[in-house]
Chain A
Amino acid sequence: MISVENVSKSFTLHNQGAAVIPVMRGASLQVARGECVALVGASGAGKSTLMRMIYGNYLAAAGRIMIGDVDVAVAQPRDILQLRRYTLGYVSQFLRVVPRVPTVAVVAEPLLATGTPRDAALARAEVLLDRLNIPQRLWSLSPTTFSGGEQQRVNIARGFAYDYPALLLDEPTASLDGTNREVVMSMIEQAKARGAAIIGIFHDEAARARVCDREIDVTGFTPKAAA
């Protein structure tokens, strides 16, 4: 489902003497349907960078990033948008929403974007929020004022609202308590069971051990400090 082949990436800082910072070289990995792969490596090794490249958020300098039959590395913006709408979900560490939009609408948005009727989308959002133990009184409020853990759960609910065939999870359990961590674990397991290909970054080793089938150490993709 997800196939990364020989991808490299460098940042050129035009406003700081055009310094070129290579951050990745020869990155390759494959994830099949129903498989969950963990990216591991020391902080700064490039786990998030690789994940962002797969999502199309960062531009790959070379290589191929196939999601289904779309090569994210060279796809047109509208193809990537289409991919993000129907194929590739992403739970980031940060929640970015329009202020004042109610939480339930934030969660329902990916469903609305795929043409789900409004009532059905909101109903599904409520189920997810309930499952992730977001108190009902908060549903009509904007998540911008929520605590870190609540925001993260809203983000997870949003990422799981639509049944994406491929999922990227950036630290989905980082600031969760035991109960909610358990909920997220089972959601990931369910996603795997329905055939989703998942790439995740988990600092929580127990979580990693439980849901991930393999680990890929991105340190191997880090260019040696040449300059």
Chain B
Amino acid sequence: MTPLLQVSNIAKFYGHRIGCTDVSFDLYPGEVMGIVGESGSGKSTLLNCLAGHLTPDTGAVRFDTRTDGLRDTVTMSEPERRMLSRTDWAFVHQHARDGLRMNVSAGGNVGERLMAVGARHYGDIRATATDWLGRVEISEDRIDDRPTAFSGGMQQRLQIARNLVTGPRLVFMDEPTGGLDVSVQARLLDLLRGLVREMNLSAIIVTHDLAVVRLLADRLMVMKDGHVVETGLTDQVLDDPQHGYTQLLVSSVLQV
């Protein structure tokens, strides 16, 4: 089986400071990988390098494109990369307002990616948008409301619908449950799990919430000061952490 994403030797420096360095891994179809670490550990820098928002200083991010097989997205042309990011890739931001058009209705937000790839039939676009709102548990009668009228959890679900409507194969998520109420988080996690399984999505989830990765991620990568200190099966890393930093991280979680 070909990996969907093949990351080799990614490094990003901010002047002399290390953003992230020496990161390599393969991600296979249907696999969900969590990246954990504290603020400033380089996990968001890494995610942005992988998703094409930042250009890494070294390394390659090879993606298994539908037409040409593995292609390095770092060196591919910008139009190609942007095309990927609105078809085969999705990016879920921590703050829904960064990933949504707040002055456009929910239906327009979901329909945008369809129209971006050439959909020109209003009725079809609207039907697809309605279907997706349903899948993320947003009532059909909210389709013409703007996201400003939505709760935080609804905004986040709308962002997910907007991202998944074109049937992407790889989803990048930056703290997808950050800033949400615990009860809303649970609902979102369940939704994401279901979508990942039904659509056979691969996902890379950056978070500092170990409970989130335990429920969502198959594999875990622990970062500290821009370096990957430990990788492995999620429950193994959390239950039998090998590196001192991971042990500290796991033992620092407050129990309820």
Q: If the complex has contacts A12-B242, A78-B219, A100-B186, are A113 and B214 also in contact, measured as CB distance less than 8 A?
A: no
Residues of B with C-beta under 8 A to A56: 233, 236
B167 within 8 A of A: no
Determine if B218 and A81 form an interchain contact, defined as CB atoms under 8 angstroms apart.
yes
Determine if B239 and A52 form an interchain contact, defined as CB atoms under 8 angstroms apart.
yes
Determine if B31 and A13 form an interchain contact, defined as CB atoms under 8 angstroms apart.
no
Q: In chain A, residues 1-46, which have Cβ atoms closer than 8 Å to a Cβ of chain B?
A: 11-15, 18
Determine if A98 and B215 form an interchain contact, defined as CB atoms under 8 angstroms apart.
yes
Q: In chain B, residues 14-56, which have Cβ atoms closer than 8 Å to a Cβ of chain A?
A: 28, 31
Secondary structure at the A interface, as helix, strand, loop or mixed, is loop
Residues of B with C-beta under 8 A to A14: 243-245, 247-248
Q: If the complex has contacts A78-B219, A81-B218, are A15 and B233 also in contact, measured as CB distance less than 8 A?
A: no
B2 within 8 A of A: no
Partner of A58 from the list B186, B190, B236 (CB cut-off 8 Å) is B236
Determine if B236 and A59 form an interchain contact, defined as CB atoms under 8 angstroms apart.
yes
Bound-complex Cα distance A22 to B242 (A): 14
Determine if B218 and A77 form an interchain contact, defined as CB atoms under 8 angstroms apart.
yes
Determine if A59 and B240 form an interchain contact, defined as CB atoms under 8 angstroms apart.
yes
Q: In chain A, residues 70-121, which have Cβ atoms closer than 8 Å to a Cβ of chain B?
A: 77-78, 80-81, 96, 98-101, 112-113
Determine if B190 and A77 form an interchain contact, defined as CB atoms under 8 angstroms apart.
no
Count: A-B pairs, CB below 8 Å: 58
A140 within 8 A of B: no
Bound-complex Cα distance A36 to B189 (A): 37
A133 within 8 A of B: no
Q: In chain B, residues 183-237, which have Cβ atoms closer than 8 Å to a Cβ of chain A?
A: 183, 186-187, 189-190, 193, 197, 214-215, 218-219, 231-233, 235-236
Residues of A with C-beta under 8 A to B28: 78
Determine if A58 and B244 form an interchain contact, defined as CB atoms under 8 angstroms apart.
no
A57 within 8 A of B: yes
CB distance from A82 to the nearest CB of B (A): 10
Bound-complex Cα distance A80 to B214 (A): 16
Q: If the complex has contacts A14-B243, A15-B247, A77-B219, are A59 and B232 also in contact, measured as CB distance less than 8 A?
A: yes
CB distance from B65 to the nearest CB of A (A): 21
B75 within 8 A of A: no
Determine if A112 and B197 form an interchain contact, defined as CB atoms under 8 angstroms apart.
yes
Determine if A98 and B236 form an interchain contact, defined as CB atoms under 8 angstroms apart.
no
Determine if B247 and A100 form an interchain contact, defined as CB atoms under 8 angstroms apart.
no
Determine if B239 and A58 form an interchain contact, defined as CB atoms under 8 angstroms apart.
yes
Residues of A with C-beta under 8 A to B243: 14
Residues of A with C-beta under 8 A to B103: none
Residues of A with C-beta under 8 A to B233: 56-57, 77, 80-81
Enumerate 14 A-B pairs (CB-CB under 8 Å) in ascending A order. A12-B242, A14-B247, A15-B244, A15-B251, A52-B239, A57-B233, A59-B242, A77-B219, A77-B231, A77-B233, A78-B31, A78-B219, A100-B190, A112-B197
Binding site for B on A (CB under 8 A): 11-15, 18, 52, 56-59, 77-78, 80-81, 96, 98-101, 112-113
